[in-house]
C-alpha cells in the first residue's frame, strides 16, 4: 500500500501527486474511506464548497483508499488524505486494519521536503526500509509527520515498510513540482520492480525546470547561490562514482569537497 498525506509532509504536493497520477493513469476504484470526524481541526483542514450541476455541496476532509490495477496480474493499494490533526495512533491503527483487510504486506510512505539542492540536477530521493539504520548515529532525528508514525506502527505489526522522501529546491516556491513527483514515481518503480507510465510528467518536469532557470536570469544573487549548489552536487556525485563499493571513502571525499567549497 502506497500512502501520501497533504500538508507538512508534502512540499509542493509532490508526494500526493504521485497517488493522483496513479489514479488518473490506471484503472483505479475507491474501496474504503476513513471519516473525518475526530481527526481534523477544520480551521486547519477546512471543508470545501463545491458546486455540481449548480447544487452547492460541502466536501469534508477524508481519507480515501484505492485499489489500482497496474496490469491484469498486478495491483497495488493507495491511501491519500490530509495529514490528521488529532489521534494519530488511532488513525494509523485504522489505516493498518484496512491494509490488513486487503492482505497488504508492505507499506510504502511518500513524502517531499524543501532542501538545499539545485533544480538543474536530478532531485534527490532518500529511501529507507523499516526505519532502521546500520549506524545509530546516522539518519534523521527531530519532528516527524504522520508517514513516519504510520511506518513505525506498521513495522510493529510486522508489515515491511519503505519510506521515500523527495527533496525540492527551497527557492522554487510552493507551486506543484512535477520533477519531484516524477523522481518519486521512478524510484517507486525501482522499489516495486514496475515501469510506471509517466504520462505528461516528463514534459511538465521540463517546463518546471525551464521556469526555475528563468528565475536565475532575474537575480544574480540567486544564480550565484544555485551555481554553488551545483558545485556541491557535482563534487558529491564525482566522489560517489570514484568510490563505488567503498562507502567510508566516499563519505570522506564528500566531506572534504564540502569543506573546500565552503572556503571558496
- Asked whether residue 36 carries a pLDDT value surpassing 90, the answer given is no
Write out the H or E segment, with its range, that includes residue 181.
helix 178-192
- Report domain extents, the chain: 2-200, 219-264
Pairing of strands 2-6, 74-82: parallel
DSSP string, 118-138: -TTSPPPEEEEETT--SSTTS
Q: What is the CA radius of gyration of the chain?
A: 20
Confidence tier at 140 by pLDDT (50, 70, 90): confident
Comparing CA positions, the residue from 201, 250, 222, 207 lying closest to residue 21 is 201
Q: What is the pLDDT of residue 263?
A: 54
Q: In what order do the strands lie in the sheet with 74-82?
A: 27-34, 63-71, 74-82, 2-6, 106-115, 160-169, 125-129
Q: What is the mean pLDDT of residues 135-156?
A: 84
pLDDT band at 33 (very low <50, low <70, confident <90, very high): very high
Range list of H helices, the chain: 14-25, 88-101, 146-156, 178-192, 201-217, 220-242, 247-262
Cell numbers linked to 119: 533544480
Q: Residue 260's pLDDT band (boundaries 50, 70, 90)?
A: low
Kindly indicate the confidence band of residue 28, based on its pLDDT and cuts at 50, 70 and 90.
Answer: very high
Q: Whole-number mean pLDDT of the chain?
A: 90
CATH H-level, domain 2-200: superfamily = PAC-like subunit (3.40.50.10900)
Local confidence band at 19 (pLDDT 50, 70, 90 cut-offs): very high
The Cβ of residue 217 has, within 10 Å, a number of other Cβ atoms equal to 9
Residue-wise pLDDT tens digits, 177-233: 999 999 999 999 999 999 999 999 999 999 999 999 999 999 999 999 999 999 999
> Distance between CA 18 and CA 136 in Å, rounded?
31
pTM value surpassing 0.85? yes
Specify the pLDDT at position 44: 87
Rounded CA separation 11/14 (Å)? 6
Contacts of 220 (CB under 8 A, 6+ apart): none
Q: Do residues 168 and 9 make contact, with C-beta atoms less than 8 angstroms apart? A: no
CA–CA separation, 57 vs 146, rounded Å?
29
Amino acid at each position: 500500500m502506497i500512502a501520501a498525506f497533504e500538508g507538512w509532509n508534502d512540499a509542493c504536493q509532490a508526494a500526493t501527486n504521485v497517488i493522483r497520477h496513479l489514479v488518473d493513469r490506471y484503472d483505479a476504484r475507491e474501496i474504503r474511506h476513513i471519516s473525518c470526524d475526530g481527526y481534523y481541526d477544520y480551521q486547519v483542514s477546512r471543508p470545501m464548497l463545491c458546486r455540481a450541476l449548480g447544487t452547492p455541496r460541502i466536501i469534508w476532509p477524508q481519507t480515501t483508499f484505492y485499489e489500482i490495477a497496474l496490469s491484469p496480474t498486478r495491483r497495488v493499494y493507495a491511501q491519500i488524505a490530509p495529514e490528521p490533526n488529532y489521534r494519530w495512533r488511532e488513525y494509523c491503527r485504522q489505516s493498518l486494519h484496512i491494509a490488513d483487510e486487503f492482505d497488504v504486506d508492505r507499506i510504502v510512505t511518500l513524502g517531499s521536503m524543501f532542501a538545499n539542492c539545485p533544480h538543474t540536477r536530478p532531485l534527490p530521493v532518500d529511501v529507507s526500509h523499516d526505519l532502521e539504520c546500520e549506524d545509530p548515529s546516522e539518519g534523521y532525528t527531530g519532528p516527524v509527520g504522520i508517514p513516519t508514525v504510520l511506518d513505525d506502527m506498521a513495522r510493529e505489526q510486522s508489515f515491511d515498510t519503505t519510506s521515500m522522501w523527495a527533496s525540492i529546491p527551497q527557492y522554487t516556491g510552493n507551486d506543484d513540482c512535477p520533477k519531484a513527483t516524477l523522481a518519486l514515481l521512478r524510484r517507486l518503480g525501482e522499489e516495486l520492480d514496475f515501469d510506471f507510465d509517466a504520462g505528461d510528467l516528463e514534459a511538465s518536469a521540463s517546463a518546471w525546470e525551464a521556469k526555475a532557470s528563468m528565475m536565475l536570469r532575474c537575480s544574480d544573487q540567486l544564480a550565484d547561490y544555485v551555481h554553488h549548489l551545483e558545485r556541491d552536487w557535482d563534487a558529491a556525485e564525482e566522489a560517489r562514482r570514484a568510490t563505488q563499493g567503498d562507502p567510508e571513502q566516499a563519505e570522506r571525499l564528500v566531506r572534504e569537497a564540502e569543506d573546500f567549497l565552503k572556503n571558496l
